[in-house]
Amino acid sequence: MLIIGAKGFAKEVLEVLHQLNQLDNLVFYDDVNNDVPNKLFGRFPVLNNAQEASAFFKTIDDRFTIGIGNPILRKKLYHKFTDLGGVFCSVISPLATIGYYGNHFEMGCNIMSGTVITSDIYIKKGTLINLNCTIGHDSIIGEFVELSPGVHISGNCAIGNYSVLGTNASVLPKLTIGKNVIIGAGSVVTKDIPDNSVAVGIPAKVIKNLEPLSDMLL
């Protein structure tokens, strides 16, 4: 498998693959940072151009996952590496607790250690669920959403595409958070939040409107 990125969150994805005992033919990709070694931890090769990534997909392993946060960047990387011949794959920690009934995960999700997912939950493509999050029954998490560590989403909630919930944010039951929304760290969401907005506080209040995302990104 190829992990896009070789810093920060990419190392946490590596830890999950270690938990899964899936380290054979594992490489990283970083064409941005000049201080990344040729081999991460002296073991895992770091590719640094599209030609190397394409050759890896064709000859060794066509799977990739994204070891970088930021919903829009993740979406762009998904398209780039799919065009190079890669297959977008989920990486789900065996130390996450996932219910047996009615759950559905689309491709390319990262679900990290300590997360609890109960029942009848739909998690869409490319979503990142970080350490120790909880998601209650009958909730829908949109495409390329980012849940920071310790986010708690109650039952019957919907989170729109490309939204980011900050560390330790909480969402009360039966609420909808729109697409392209940022919820501040530690905030408590007690009512619906509209698209393209920033909300913070206890209770969370909209403090800023964001530019709608380009149709090209969506």
Identify whether the C-beta of residue 174 lies closer than 8 Å to the C-beta of residue 158: no
**Residue 215 forms part of a structural domain:** no
User: Looking at the 3D structure of the chain, how many domains does it have?
Assistant: 2
Q: What is the pLDDT of residue 217?
A: 62
Q: Phi/psi at 182 (nearest 5 deg)?
A: -115, 125
Q: What is the pLDDT of residue 214?
A: 81
Q: Average pLDDT of each block of 10 consecutive residues along the chain (218 residues)? A: 96 97 97 92 96 97 97 96 97 97 97 98 98 98 98 98 98 98 98 97 97 75
Q: What is the pLDDT of residue 218?
A: 59
**CB under 8 Å to 43, separation ≥6 — which residues?**
none
Q: What is the pLDDT of residue 144?
A: 97
Catalytic residue (one of 18, 79, 104, 137): 137
9: domain range?
A: 2-89
Asked if residue 113 and residue 59 are part of one domain, the reply reads: no
To the query of whether residue 137 is one of the catalytic residues in this protein, the response is: yes
Among 29, 60, 89, the domain-final residue is: 89
C-alpha R_g of the chain: 17
DSSP assigned state of 213: P
